[in-house]
């Protein structure tokens, strides 16, 4: 991994301090009851929804932007999903020539950064281009009862790590409204990558007043330069619960 990438990832995670400490987040947390976690005792109900984040070919080893062991979680994600009545899957879904691609910025290489209207943007290899095999879900992901696929990052001029809001923190994917309309109160998160799209989605879930629980053994992180520990710290401060699949009742 390049020095530039490490530097970016470090500063990107550092930037979450602001989001996690937002007064809106604290207010939302104060309104909701903290889930009490006992091993094997969490039984998802009708107001709970599982959010399966970006289990796509380009984020799996062999893909354009691979997360280490990204494929290892797939059987566990399937198993967990079977225990949920309600499941939503997210899909990174970029236009060709997307602004987050290094190839869209002459002279720039992947993992370098550039300044855009909404802030600093890391420049990635081309990945998850709409309609390409890299954007497809992993072939072994089997969640036929998923009720919604929410796509993100399709605005050509803006990136999106979170399933709720894109990189400016304002442009919505529509997920907050959907979740509200369906009456869901609590979101459980699995997928890729723990310290980026999972983390940003969990923080935004708290921001819109939802309980948020990350099932850590059903996620994999990039974990560079302390990014994973920093992400967990920010999630904990925002009231995101850290659980394991064994905490769910069979």
Positions that interact with Zn ion (CB under 5 A): 92, 153
- Comparing every residue's Cβ against Zn ion, the nearest one is 92
What's the CA gap between 74 and 144, in Å, rounded? 14
CB 153 to Zn ion: min, Å = 5
Give least dist CB 52 to Zn ion, A: 16
CB of 163 to Zn ion, least distance (A): 12
Q: Which of 4/130 has CB closer to Zn ion?
A: 130
Instruction: Write the DSSP symbol of residue 167.
Output: T
- Whether 54 is catalytic: yes
Q: How many CA atoms lie within 13 A of 119 on its CB side?
A: 12
Report the alpha-carbon distance of residue 61 to residue 38 in Å, rounded: 34
Enter the DSSP assignment of 125. Answer: P
Distance in angstroms (rounded) separating the CA atoms of residues 35 and 214:
12
Cα 235 from Cα 246, distance rounded (Å): 20
The kind and range of the H/E element at 242 are strand 241-243
Cα 209 to Cα 47, 137, 179, 234: the distances in Å are: 14, 29, 11, 16
Strand order in the sheet with 241-243: 148-152, 87-92, 48-53, 186-192, 211-220, 241-243
Residue 100 Cβ vs Zn ion, minimum distance, rounded to whole Å: 6
Give the residue with the Cβ less far from Zn ion, 93 or 188.
93
Kindly state the smallest distance separating residue 94's Cβ from Zn ion, in Å: 6
The yes-or-no answer on residue 140 being catalytic is no
Residue 154 vs 217, nearer CB to Zn ion: 154
Nearer to Zn ion, 21 or 149 (CB): 149
For Zn ion, which is the closer residue by CB, 134 or 153?
153
Host H or E run for residue 23: helix 23-31
Question: Catalytic: which of 71, 126, 152, 241?
Answer: 152
Cα 208-35-145 angle, rounded to 5 deg: 70
Task: Name the catalytic one among 54, 58, 159, 247.
Answer: 54
Q: Closest approach of Cβ 161 to Zn ion, in Å?
A: 8
* Annotated catalytic residue within 58, 126, 128, 197: 197
Q: Is 128 a catalytic residue?
A: no
List residues bridging with 121 in a β-sheet. Answer: 114
Residue closer to Zn ion (CB basis): 156 or 180 = 156
The catalytic residues are 54, 152, 197
């Amino acid at each position: 991994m390049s020095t530039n990438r490490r530097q970016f990832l470090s500063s990107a995670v550092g930037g979450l301090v602001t989001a996690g400490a937002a007064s809106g987040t604290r207010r939302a947390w104060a309104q909701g009851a903290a889930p009490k976690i006992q091993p094997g005792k969490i039984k998802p109900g009708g107001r709970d929804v599982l959010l399966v984040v970006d289990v796509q070919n380009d984020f799996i080893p062999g893909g354009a932007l691979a997360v280490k062991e990204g494929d290892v979680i797939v059987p566990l994600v399937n198993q967990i999903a079977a225990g949920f009545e309600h499941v939503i899957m997210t899909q990174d879904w970029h236009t060709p020539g997307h602004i987050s691609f290094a190839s869209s910025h002459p002279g720039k290489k992947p993992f370098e950064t550039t300044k855009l209207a909404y802030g600093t943007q890391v420049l990635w290899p081309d990945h998850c281009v709409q309609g390409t095999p890299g954007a497809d879900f992993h072939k072994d992901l089997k969640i036929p009862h998923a009720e919604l696929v929410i796509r993100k990052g399709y605005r050509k001029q803006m990136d999106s790590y979170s399933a709720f809001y894109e990189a400016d923190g304002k442009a919505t994917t529509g997920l907050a409204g959907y979740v509200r309309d369906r009456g869901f109160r609590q979101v459980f998160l699995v997928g890729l990558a723990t310290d980026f799209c999972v983390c940003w989605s969990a923080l935004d879930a708290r921001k819109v007043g939802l309980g948020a629980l990350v099932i850590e053994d059903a996620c994999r992180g990039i974990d560079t330069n302390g990014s994973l520990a920093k992400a967990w710290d920010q999630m904990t401060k925002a009231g995101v619960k850290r659980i394991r699949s064994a905490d769910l009742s069979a």
